Amino acid sequence: MKYFKRAAIYKNYNGNNEFNPEKVEAYSYRWWKYVTVVDGLVLFNNYYYSPTTCKHQHETRRLMEELGIQIDLTLEVPCGFQDANWIEETAKHYQNKIDELDKLIAKPRTHKKKNKERLEQRTALHAFKLRVINFAA
């Protein structure tokens, strides 16, 4: 990504991916915000929105590493940080993933080893969901 001195931001070659190192904010197509700071923590949204946005996320993550900006929390935020209800939407997203795992675990004739992995995933997702909800508190 190229640095533009006047604007004090980094942009990719066609300008549809922007990163502001002063605010620690990144936007894909100037509207989908996927890097932000909340309560002093740098949050990175790694939700797979589209192939292009995935590329933007990769570019920005690499740039942040080069600049020495540490990501404190990586999470999946389907609506993006620009949405005022991103915390609630993210909690719903993680709950849906938990519900899907519960359905798979409850299926008859599933392998014990696979269910053990699913239970571990479920526990991790639940802990992550609680962490997201704590941002609202």
- Cα separation of 132 and 69, whole Å? 21
pTM of the model: 0.85
Among 23-32, 59-68, 122-131, the least confident range: 122-131
Q: In angstroms, rounded to a whole number, what is the distance separating the alpha carbons of residues 76 and 89?
A: 10
Which pLDDT belongs to residue 95?
A: 93
Cα distance from N-terminal residue to C-terminal residue, the chain: 36
Q: Is the pLDDT of residue 137 over 80?
A: no
Return the domain boundaries, the chain: 2-75, 86-136
Is residue 98 over pLDDT 80? yes
Query: Residue 128: is its pLDDT beyond 70?
Result: yes
